[in-house]
């Protein structure tokens, strides 16, 4: 069993990269990928833990994409097998981090205006080594008993359309895909059902547009993805020569209904998903070599 999407304390997960690797070993998983949101700072720890515990660890990242989707849909693109030392990717992700900090200041100002006492230092402490996101704000509001759950913090203050919501700076589709390819990774569309298209043909059309921009594959296994959607997606990727990926989107205690490897109890991603991705990645390297 493999799990190719999870988050650590470097973004919005509750476990360190080392703890993730240990958990994967205890569960008997054969390969895992760390795909923190907009950062690759956790990868050094993750890869060295993988060597130590004999688990295959894949260097990844998850990038939020600026694209217009209705029905509250969102698009995330995963980079898998990226070069963890790629300076260009690091500097682009650092830019996002700086923008996230500026956004955090604006969210704080809005909450202060609503009479809620919260400051940047508290938020930075909550985020630790991770880049600041709305879940960190939600956690502080919960600790201060301003709300009674993290979900309530989103529902009242932080979700889109609520009084302390602030948009986040994101890269567009082409840029997000290109920055992953430039760092020698595979670009994979994460959880395609969360783009929230009503008809499958619209999902399919969007994926084909992304493929023209260099998309390599699609996440066809994911916690809570409807089985019929997953099946339809697998037929689609086969016809269009897209590679399949899959992951639980494990966040540790921060999303405690999702388990590493098993998702919501509905996952069991076969080892060949990993080996096919690896094969696909190696072939793309050979082709790159031939064309240069
Ligand atoms: P950010 O990157 O700072 O915009 O935070 C995004 C994260 O906030 C997502 O990964 C979710 O974990 C969480 N989130 C976003 N919208 C909601 C919502 N409406 N309810 C609960 N959690 C949410
Ligand atoms: Zn996350
Ligand atoms: Fe995602």
DSSP letters along 79-110, please?
EES--TT-HHHHHHHHHHHHHHHHHHHHHHHH
Q: Is the CB–ligand 1 distance for residue 162 below 6 Å?
A: no
Mean predicted lDDT score pLDDT of the chain: 95
Confidence label for 285 from pLDDT (cuts 50, 70 and 90):
confident
Return d(Cα 290, Cα 287) in angstroms, integer.
5
Confidence label for 15 from pLDDT (cuts 50, 70 and 90):
very high
**Sign of the CA dihedral with 151 first, then 60, 63, and 271 last:** negative
Task: Choose the weakest-confidence range: 21-30, 32-41, 122-131.
Answer: 122-131
Q: Who wins on pLDDT, 284 or 58?
A: 58
Query: Could you tell me which residues are beta bridge partners of residue 62?
Result: 37, 78
Q: Residue 272 C-alpha to ligand 1 middle, in angstroms?
A: 31
Q: Residue 173 C-alpha to ligand 2 middle, in angstroms?
A: 19
Return d(Cα 179, Cα 120) in angstroms, integer.
30
3-state secondary structure at position 59: strand
State yes or no: pLDDT of 134 exceeds 70: yes
What is the number of other CB atoms lying within 10 angstroms of the CB of residue 244?
A: 21
3-state secondary structure at position 56: strand
154, 155, 168, 247, best to mutate for ligand 1 pocket (most atoms within 8 Å of CB): 154
State yes or no: pLDDT of 84 exceeds 90: yes
Q: Residue 290 C-alpha to ligand 2 middle, in angstroms?
A: 37
For residues 125-141, one letter each, b for 16 or more C-beta atoms within 10 angstroms of the residue's C-beta and e for the rest, the string is: ebbeebbbbbbbbbbbb
**What is the model's pLDDT at position 100?**
92
**What is the model's pLDDT at position 154?**
97
Q: Is the CB–ligand 1 distance for residue 154 below 6 Å?
A: yes
Q: Is the CB–ligand 1 distance for residue 130 below 6 Å?
A: no
**What is the model's pLDDT at position 106?**
97
Q: By CB neighbour count within 10 A (0-12 exposed, 13-18 middle, 19+ buried), where does 124 fall?
A: middle
State yes or no: pLDDT of 239 exceeds 90: yes
pLDDT over 90 percentage in the chain: 91
Confidence label for 182 from pLDDT (cuts 50, 70 and 90):
very high
**What is the model's pLDDT at position 286?**
75
133, 161, 223, best to mutate for ligand 1 pocket (most atoms within 8 Å of CB): 133
For residues 193-218, one letter each, b for 16 or more C-beta atoms within 10 angstroms of the residue's C-beta and e for the rest, the string is: bbbebeeeeebbebbeebbebebbbb
Task: Choose the weakest-confidence range: 3-17, 126-140, 208-222.
Answer: 126-140
Q: Is the CB–ligand 1 distance for residue 159 below 6 Å?
A: yes
Confidence label for 185 from pLDDT (cuts 50, 70 and 90):
very high
State yes or no: pLDDT of 238 exceeds 90: yes
Q: Is the CB–ligand 1 distance for residue 283 below 6 Å?
A: no
State yes or no: pLDDT of 79 exceeds 90: yes
């Amino acid at each position: 069993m493999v799990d190719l999407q999870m988050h650590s304390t470097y973004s919005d997960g509750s476990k360190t990269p080392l703890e993730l690797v240990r958990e994967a070993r205890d569960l008997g998983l054969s390969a895992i990928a760390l795909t923190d949101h907009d950062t690759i700072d956790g990868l050094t720890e993750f890869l060295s833990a993988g060597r130590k515990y004999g688990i295959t660890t894949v260097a990844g990242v998850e990038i939020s994409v600026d694209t217009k989707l209705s029905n509250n849909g969102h698009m995330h693109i995963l980079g898998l097998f990226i070069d963890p030392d790629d300076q260009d990717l690091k500097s682009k992700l650092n830019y996002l981090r700086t923008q996230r900090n500026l956004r955090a200041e604006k969210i704080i100002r809005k909450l202060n205006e609503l009479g809620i006492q919260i400051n940047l230092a508290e938020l930075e402490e909550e985020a630790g080594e991770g880049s600041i996101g709305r879940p960190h704000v939600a956690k502080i509001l919960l600790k201060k008993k301003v709300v009674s759950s993290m979900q309530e913090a989103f529902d009242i203050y932080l979700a889109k359309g609520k009084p302390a919501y602030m948009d986040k700076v994101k890269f567009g589709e082409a840029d997000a895909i290109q920055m992953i390819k430039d760092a020698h990774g595979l670009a994979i569309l994460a959880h395609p059902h969360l783009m929230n298209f009503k008809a499958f043909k619209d999902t399919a059309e969007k994926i084909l547009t992304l493929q023209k921009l260099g998309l390599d594959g699609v996440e066809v296994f994911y916690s809570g993805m409807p089985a019929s959607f997953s099946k339809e997606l697998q037929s689609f990727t086969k016809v269009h020569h897209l590679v399949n990926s899959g992951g639980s989107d494990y966040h540790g205690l921060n999303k405690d209904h999702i388990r590493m490897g098993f998702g919501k109890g509905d996952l069991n991603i076969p080892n060949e998903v990993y080996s096919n991705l690896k094969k696909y990645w190696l072939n793309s390297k050979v082709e790159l070599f031939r064309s240069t």
